[in-house]
């Protein structure tokens, strides 16, 4: 810019010499620009953030720094740039020239303003990125907490089943322990993965149903229908088992006579439809513990999938859940 501005007045010099003079001019005036800009960025802005209730002090500091820098500008122009770099060929401006002060003020204001804008933009972008990271960590922590609530809840219920069989000295106790160990092995080693196949999830459900069949014998009728177009479809681990467990914990186990649990699982084009119906006695409402468990699972679904629909039916003798999930809408937590 200095070359274009003053080049026409230095025709007696070669282009190379004019460029050298322009570079010398720019390097010289860069010093006060840097001093003022860094003072504003790393001293004044920090003070503004720390002392929000003392704005006049910060304004006075900025004005003092501005006046000092402008004086330095004028001294460099009058005593070095024009007499030394330009050899006096462009004249020697007065140190207190109003036009000179105005030109230097515009130059300084542009440089400092651009630097402050860039820094604030970077801080804002960094802040948004940090906010995203913190939100992601919060959601991950909440999801782990909810899953860690589900697993001990399942283990507690199953141990109660084993205890009941052991008291009866049932021959099925050993089989129940073996099936429980398979389920626990899955929970320990597989449930920590972000995804498993729908085939693995249905196998886990089937193992759980086999375990409950041993406990209830002829008193329980179980129907598990599956219609899956892709057994390798990825789902979140332990996505469906809590609904099945709920049917036994708060349905079958509280029924004195013949009970049923009907499960229907359909998966087509990434759309999963899952229905669980279980019998219950009388008009008793779903227990508070059951509602808490369902709220827990619903919150997990909210964290894991953008598109899902969960409906609960609580009729006189039947409790049912209807779940629909677009598995391709999985959140990237």
Q: pLDDT tens-digit profile of 11-61?
A: 556 667 667 777 777 777 778 888 888 888 877 777 776 666 667 777 787
Residues 75 and 188 in one domain: no
> What letter would DSSP give residue 248?
H
Q: What is the longest distance spanned by two Cα atoms in the chain?
A: 114
Q: How confident is the model at residue 120 (pLDDT cuts 50, 70, 90)?
A: confident
Same domain, 10 and 73: yes
Last residue of a domain, one of 96, 116, 146: 96
Residues 90, 204 within the same domain: no
Q: Are residues 149 and 90 in the same domain?
A: no
Statement to judge: residues 188 and 76 lie in one domain: no
What pTM does this model have? 0.56
Assess if residue 243 is contained within a domain.
yes
**CATH number for the domain harbouring residue 152:** 3.30.565.10
Could you tell me whether strands 271-279 and 196-197 are parallel, antiparallel, or unpaired per DSSP bridges?
A: unpaired
| Number of compact structural domains in the chain | 2
**DSSP annotation string for 141-206:** HHHHHHHHHHHHHHHHHHHHHHHHHHHTT-TTHHHHHHHHHHHHHHHHHTTTSS-EEHHHHHHHHH
**Among 76-85, 93-102, 171-180, 284-293, which stretch is predicted with the lowest mean pLDDT?**
284-293
Residue that is last in its domain, among 96, 118, 150: 96
Residue 267: C-alpha distances to residues 204, 240, 283, 318, 327 (Å): 17, 13, 33, 24, 10
- Sign, CA dihedral 222-243-322-193, equals negative
Same domain as 173, residue 44: no
- What mean pLDDT comes out for the span 304-332? 87
Q: Does 119 fall in a domain? A: no
Do 79 and 149 lie in one domain? The reply is: no
Q: Tell me: the pLDDT tens digits for 139-153?
A: 565 556 555 555 555
Q: Is residue 113 part of a domain?
A: no
Are 329 and 306 a contacting pair, CB within 8 Å? yes
3-state secondary structure of 13: coil
Find where tokens 């109660």 sit: 160
On whether both 178 and 290 belong to a single domain, the answer is yes
Q: Which residues on adjacent β-strands are paired with residue 260?
A: 221
Q: What SS3 state is found at 310?
A: strand
Cα-flanking dihedrals φ and ψ of residue 192, to 5°? Answer: -75, -15
Residues 183 and 265 in one domain: yes
Average pLDDT over residues 309-315: 88
Q: What is the pLDDT, as a whole number, of residue 289?
A: 47
Structural domain contains residue 128: no
Cα separation values, 269 from 59, 64, 198, 272, Å: 64, 69, 13, 8
Look up residue 235 and give its DSSP letter: E
If we measure between CA atoms, which residue out of 178, 237, 175, 229 comes closest to residue 203? 237
Do 64 and 149 fall into the same domain? no
- Look up the domain containing 39 and give its range: 2-96
Domain check: are 228 and 291 in the same one? yes
- Domain shared by 295 and 168, yes or no: yes
Considering 64, 96, 128, which residue would you say is the last residue of a domain? 96
């Amino acid at each position: 810019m200095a070359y274009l501005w003053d080049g026409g007045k230095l025709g007696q010099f070669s282009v190379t010499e004019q460029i050298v003079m322009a570079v010398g001019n720019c390097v010289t005036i860069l010093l006060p620009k840097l001093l003022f800009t860094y003072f504003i960025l790393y001293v004044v802005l920090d003070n503004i953030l720390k002392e929000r209730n003392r704005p006049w002090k910060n304004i006075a500091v900025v004005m003092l720094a501005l006046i000092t820098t402008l004086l330095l500008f004028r001294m460099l122009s009058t005593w070095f740039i024009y007499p030394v770099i330009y050899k006096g060929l462009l004249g020697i401006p007065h140190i207190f020239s109003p036009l000179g002060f105005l030109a230097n003020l515009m130059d300084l204001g542009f440089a400092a303003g651009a630097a402050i804008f860039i820094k604030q933009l970077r801080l804002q972008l960094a802040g948004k990125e940090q906010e995203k990271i913190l939100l992601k960590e919060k959601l991950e922590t909440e999801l782990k907490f909810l899953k860690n609530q589900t697993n001990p809840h399942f283990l507690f219920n199953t141990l109660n089943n084993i205890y009941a069989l052991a008291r009866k000295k049932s021959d099925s106790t050993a089989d129940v322990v073996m099936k429980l160990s398979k389920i626990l092995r899955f929970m320990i080693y597989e449930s920590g993965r972000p995804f498993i196949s729908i085939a693995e999830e249905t196998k886990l459900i089937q193992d759980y149903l086999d375990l409950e069949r041993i406990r209830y014998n002829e008193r329980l009728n179980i129907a598990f229908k599956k219609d899956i177009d892709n057994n390798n479809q990825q789902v979140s681990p332990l996505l469906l088992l809590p609904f099945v467990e709920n049917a036994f914990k708060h349905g079958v186990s509280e029924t004195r006579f013949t009970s049923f649990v009907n499960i229907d699982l359909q998966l087509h084009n990434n759309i999963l439809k899952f229905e669980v119906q279980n019998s219950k006695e009388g008009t008793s409402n779903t227990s508070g513990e059951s509602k808490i468990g369902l709220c827990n699972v619903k919150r997990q679904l909210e964290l894991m999938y953008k598109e899902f629909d969960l409906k609960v039916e609580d009729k006189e003798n039947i409790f049912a859940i209807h779940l629909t999930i677009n598995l391709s809408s999985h959140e990237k937590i």
